[in-house]
Amino acid sequence: MTAYVDGTAVPLEAAAAEAARLLDGARLPLVAGLQTDVAGARAAILLAEKLHGAYDHAASDALLRDVGVLRQAGRMVTTANDVRIRADLVLLVGPRLTVLWPELAERLALAAPPRLSPDKAARKIFWLGGEPAAAAAIGATHIGVGADQLPLAVAGLRAAVAGRKSRLGGALAKSLAELAENLKAAHFGAAVWSAESLDELTIEALSGLVLDLNQKTRFTNLAFGPAQNGVGVLQTSGWMTGFPIRTGFGRGYPEHDIWRFDANRLVDTGEADAALWISAYGAATPNWRRKVPFIALAAPGTTFSYPPKVQIEVGAPGQDHDAIEWARDVASFTATSATTASEAPRVDAVIGLISEHLKGN
């Protein structure tokens, strides 16, 4: 385990004391990155409250795009396991899905008929707006749509399902009309997508499409989030404060605002005058533009665009130590055992140490 203050190796205790000094002296301390397990997220959020600071997550854009549409329009959703055992039709929507989740096709067992299918017919698989080669690799019928055309295409698909005319024409309109017939004929269909590769308009249109389909048959969404416990941190934030990430405690109680508590905005405007950056899984680094003094709890070997005031190397959850993390496989939390247990400190332990050095303690 290694800790540094101004680039010089120091004992962990001294680094924690220096970190506490920096946070104590700040007007608005920011906790950012937040790439950690549940225990780390809990400790970080409690620290943010204690400091009357704010917290945000490195994958907030995708996480909050998803939540943003959810809390406007609602949604029908399910799990990967449900799609695996039940869905006779799978509609992937948007680019890079098998890059974002390489095990996707295997997890959904797309090559086999669903276990609960009465007739054991092969699944129908379509991919709207994916990559032709990737679609071929998982046996999906590719329907080519550029990323910028995707919202329009999904809206067109929704119109076709509802029997309305859309503004689309040509070959795309024809393949969407065919697709619409397939969707309507599905017994239990699932739209598979990730907010990492879709914009709000498309997500909203998809939510509406799925609701429409349920007037006659069964259809649902499988929306998967970013890896490395991003969804887990969002969920932890939900039960601890009632709100997702991008929440602040400046007034003594949690307030959620996706603009006000955007980490990059807080730093770039100078509102945040100190930061704690947490990245226990890998080499993620901040991309704010102003050089706010910061403390980094990061995986060993992380290099930053400018040096942190305090740097403490932490272990990777599920690798160096046991952890509770969100698992896409089960769409919930699971307990992971360390694969190569080490003495590297845990994020929650380091935050505990920093908290002990804060003034009022």
Residue ranges binding another protein (CB under 8 A): 38-39, 42, 45-46, 49-50, 67, 70-79, 81-82, 84-86, 106-107, 109, 115-116, 118, 187-188, 214, 217-218, 220, 234-236, 238-244, 251-254, 256, 322, 324, 327, 329-335
Q: Which is nearer to another protein, 78 or 149 (CB)?
A: 78
Q: Which is nearer to another protein, 198 or 223 (CB)?
A: 223
Minimum gap (Å) between residue 329 Cβ and another protein: 6
In whole angstroms, what separates CA 218 from the centre of its chain?
27
Q: Which is nearer to another protein, 60 or 311 (CB)?
A: 60
Q: Which is nearer to another protein, 109 or 177 (CB)?
A: 109
Q: What is the C-alpha separation between 86 and 131, in angstroms, rounded?
A: 25
Q: What is the C-alpha separation between 94 and 127, in angstroms, rounded?
A: 8
Q: Which is nearer to another protein, 123 or 309 (CB)?
A: 123
Q: Which is nearer to another protein, 234 or 278 (CB)?
A: 234
Count, residues in the chain: 361
25 in Cβ contact with 3 (< 8 Å): no
Q: Which is nearer to another protein, 116 or 122 (CB)?
A: 116
Minimum gap (Å) between residue 288 Cβ and another protein: 25
46 in Cβ contact with 30 (< 8 Å): no
Residue 37's CB: how many other CB atoms inside 10 A? 29
Q: Residue 187, exposed/middle/buried by CB under 10 A (0-12, 13-18, 19+)? A: middle
Minimum gap (Å) between residue 243 Cβ and another protein: 6
Q: Which is nearer to another protein, 231 or 292 (CB)?
A: 231
Q: Which is nearer to another protein, 107 or 142 (CB)?
A: 107
Q: Closest Cα partner for 264 from 283, 292, 236?
A: 292
Minimum gap (Å) between residue 222 Cβ and another protein: 9
Q: Residue 164 — left, alpha, or beta (φ > 0 → left; ψ -120 to 50 → alpha)?
A: beta
Minimum gap (Å) between residue 147 Cβ and another protein: 27
Minimum gap (Å) between residue 52 Cβ and another protein: 9
32 in Cβ contact with 275 (< 8 Å): yes
Residue 169's CB: how many other CB atoms inside 10 A? 9
Q: Tokens standing for 246?
A: 């991008």
In whole angstroms, what separates CA 251 from the centre of its chain?
28
Minimum gap (Å) between residue 109 Cβ and another protein: 7
Minimum gap (Å) between residue 244 Cβ and another protein: 6
347 in Cβ contact with 44 (< 8 Å): yes
β-bridge mates for residue 350, sequence order: none
Minimum gap (Å) between residue 198 Cβ and another protein: 18
Q: What is the C-alpha separation between 299 and 282, in angstroms, rounded?
A: 6
In whole angstroms, what separates CA 300 from the centre of its chain?
23
